[in-house]
Structure 1
Amino acid sequence: MRAVTADRFQPEDPAAAVVIRDVPDEAPRPGWVRVAVQCAALNHHDVWSLRGVGLREGALPMVLGTDATGTLPDGTPVIVHGVINDPAWRGDDTLDPGRSLLSERYPGTLAEAVWVPAGNVVPRHEDLAPQHAACLPTSYLTAYRLLFTAAQVRPGQTVLVQGAGGGVSTACILLGRAAGLRVWVTSRTEEGRRRALELGAHDAFESGARLPRQVDAVIETVGKATWGHSLRSLLPGGVVAVAGSTTGPDADAELNRVFFRSIRVVGATMGTRDELALLQEMLLATGVRPLLDRMVAMEEAPAALADMARGVVHGKMVIDVAGSVR
């Protein structure tokens, strides 16, 4: 079957390490199911894998991808949950010390088929298009968990989303607005602020700007460049929910501000299978759909990943694996 693979690590030019090749279909594992992939979304996780972060050299070549939607052998349409747990684990999927993501230990979703544990699929509702369903398991699930599990924000509260252009940030704007939050964003560029407002943000500010008032929660995926601003922007007792550090993790922790103002710092990585099911229900109830940058064929994956590495993407890029959607 055809697949998009990482055959080597290329830190400076990750897309150069992408190879589209025929790979053997996996042998079934007990309790796993085969999903014929219809659409698969790209994520920064794929770029990091090509750079050698989170993927062992001994696992190469590796099929990339953590997100997909497709069909089971009986024709049931499903969304794939990409967090693979130890079979003995019970509890929150994301807290399993032995967890991994698809494309780290096991072949990923950028292929004509992917094998996953039977518990790692959510039935896809007929009203959710495949290209939208494929976007949910990483960026949108992370956003859902950041807002509603980590930050525990409620309708009417104000949330600040740092760095409006990223995939998780975009998802936070759409989901937060749909949930009745007051959504503020920051962006380094006027274009980024304009796009955030078009998506539904109530207000947009330059990075580091003084806000009209302090907020209940901050969604932080930027790291060093925005950390101090995030802490200064919070009300006493507020929470900063963290799911990334794209500008580096070595920020001044400003612990005095954290303890003096009783600020909570909560980390989050993706989400649980149950949260993925709830996320789908939220989209169906509100009419919100993921923002798409483009849909491409599998052969266009290297160029799409190159654009992602350069940061010239606005919304999700989806691979039409089965060639049945575009």
Structure 2
Amino acid sequence: MRAAYAIAANDADPLSALEVGERPEPTPAGPDWVTVEVRAGSLNHHDLWSLRGVGLPADKLPMILGCDAAGIAPDGSEVVVYPVIFGPESGPPWSILSEHFPGTLSERVTVPATNLVRKPEALSFTDAACLPTAWLTAYRMLTAKGRLTAGGSVLVQGAGGGVATAAVVLAGALGARVYATSRDAAKRERIAALGATAFEPGARLPERVDVVIETVGEATFEHSMKCANVGGRIVVSGATAGHLPKVNLRRVFANQLEILGTSMGTPEELAALMTLLVEKDVRPVVDSVFGFSEVRKAFEKLNDGDVFGKVVIDYTR
């Protein structure tokens, strides 16, 4: 079957470690595992980190990449693949597809049957394939962790990437006032078109917010703390610009701030996310769609960094 996979680790030139070609058919890892015919997938920076060797040791190579997929289950139903695999007591407690088990950038993927979430008919395969990693993380940041309520306020730092862009859209769908920052003027225009009020990094906001979505880290964390309201929640799921920010503890206790970490979500939250998108008639922000024969071009685009939203692979093209 066709697949995109890592054959090595190269931190300086990750795309040199990428191979696109034939791989053996997937083998179920247990009696409760099933095979999904993949119709669409999407790329994440996790895939580039894998090519750099982060979280993917040499003894796991070659490894099929990809965390996100939507496709057809053995019973013919349309499903989205939940990418977290919970391990045995003797192994890691959990991993994401493409770390210990082959990923979704292939024509077929095997996962536990419990990892299949029914796809609403109203969502296309390409839209649904955007959701399991970035959009699910953003949804959990806003809801379970951020406890955002309708009429609340949100600041999204560094909007433009997958999680941050998803947070802008979802916060609006949840009825919040949304502010977002970006260094790029063109991206600020696109953020504004999604319903947020866009600012340059570090700018003073019209109000202090209930929830801050933090995926940037060191470069924005001080601003995040200054922008959080009394009792506000700063929810962190990434640190693309440094993971050791200075934290003013006096501000933390004086304003009763909560600094919360999170990653991914649950299958139930993935189902709730899809329900929200259908009910609010909202769809993921898609930067570009490539056919499977163009997978390398898709990786090149993601690696170049000039991306707004998700890069999607349509397996039917």
The two structures have a TM-score, normalised by structure 2, of 0.96
User: Over aligned residue pairs, what C-alpha RMSD do you find?
Assistant: 1.5
State the match for 2:306 in structure 1: 312
For the pair 1:193 / 2:188, whether they are aligned, the reply is: yes
How far apart, in 2, do the equivalents of 1:163 and 1:224 lie?
12
- For residue 269 of structure 1, report the CA deviation from its aligned partner: 0.5
Give me the whole-angstrom Cα distance separating, in 2, the residues matched to 1:87 and 1:116.
15
Write the deviation string for residues 146-189 of structure 1: whole angstroms up to 9, x where unpaired.
00011111010110000111111110111110110000001112
Per the TM alignment, residue 204 of structure 1 is displaced from its structure 2 partner at its CA by 1.0
Aligned partners of 1:16 and 1:302 also within 8 Å:
no
The answer for the alignment partner of 2:25 in structure 1 is 25
Matches within 5 A, 1:42-191: 42-86=43-87, 98-191=93-186
- Partners of 1:272 and 1:252 lie apart in 2 by 31
Matched with 1:237 is 231
Q: Quick one: distance in 2 between partners of 1:302 and 1:236?
A: 47
Question: What amino acid maps onto 1:309 in structure 2?
Answer: N
CA distance in 1, matches of 2:26, 2:297: 27
What corresponds to 1:209 in structure 2? 203
Structure 2 letter corresponding to 1:24: P
Q: CA deviation at 1:97?
A: 6.2
State the secondary structure of the residue aligned to 2:68: coil
CA distance in 2, matches of 1:51, 1:302: 16
Change (3 A) 1:320 1:70: same
Provide the C-alpha distance between the structure 2 equivalents of 1:154 and 1:292, rounded to a whole number of angstroms.
26
Amino acid at match of 1:37: V
- Match of 1:68, SS? strand
Runs (4+) of structure 1 moved beyond 3 Å? none
CA distance in 2, matches of 1:223, 1:294: 27
Is 1:228 matched up with 2:222?
Answer: yes
Q: Per-residue displacement from partner, 1:3-34 (whole Å, max 9, x unpaired)?
A: 00011112122122110121111222211010
The offset of 1:88, in angstroms, is: 6.9
Q: Which amino acid aligns with 2:220?
A: T
Task: Determine if contact 2:187/2:308 at 8 Å carries over to the other structure.
Answer: no
Residue 249 of structure 1: aligned partner: 243
- Whole-angstrom distance in 2 between the partners of 1:120 and 1:87: 16
Is the contact between residue 3 and residue 22 of structure 2 (CA under 8 Å) also seen in structure 1?
yes
Give 3-state SS (helix, strand or coil) of 1:212's partner. coil
Aligned mate of 1:300, from 282, 294, 298: 294
Kindly provide the amino acid, as one letter, of the partner of residue 93 in structure 2.
G
Q: What do residues 76-125 of structure 1 show as CA deviations (whole Å, max 9, x unaligned)?
A: 11100001113679xxxxxx961000000000000000000010001112
How many angstroms apart in 2 are the aligned matches of 1:278 and 1:16? 38
Count of residues in Structure 1 that have an aligned counterpart in Structure 2: 316
Q: Distance in 2 between matches of 1:73 and 1:118?
A: 10
Aligned-pair identity in percent equals 48
Higher relative contact order (CA 8 A, sep 6+): 1
Alignment-derived partner of residue 287 in structure 1:
281
Distance in 1 (alpha carbons) for counterparts of 2:92 and 2:153: 33
Distance 2:129 2:279 in 1: 18
Counterparts of 2:12 and 2:150, CA distance in 1: 43
Letter of the structure 1 residue corresponding to residue 141 of structure 2: L
Q: Aligned partners of 2:199 and 2:96: how far apart in 1?
A: 34
Separation of aligned partners in 1, 2:156 and 2:17? 33
- Structure 2 equivalent of residue 93 of structure 1: none
The offset of 1:272, in angstroms, is: 0.4
Matched, 1:277 2:271: yes
Residue 266 of structure 1 deviates from its aligned partner by 0.7
Displacement after TM superposition at 1:321 (Å): 1.8
Q: Give structure 1 stretches of 5+ with no counterpart.
A: 90-95
Distance 1:235 1:179 in 2: 19
- Identify the range of structure 1 (313-322 vs 141-150) with the bigger mean alpha-carbon deviation: 313-322
Q: Is the contact made by 2:26 and 2:108 (CA closer than 8 Å) also made in structure 1?
A: no
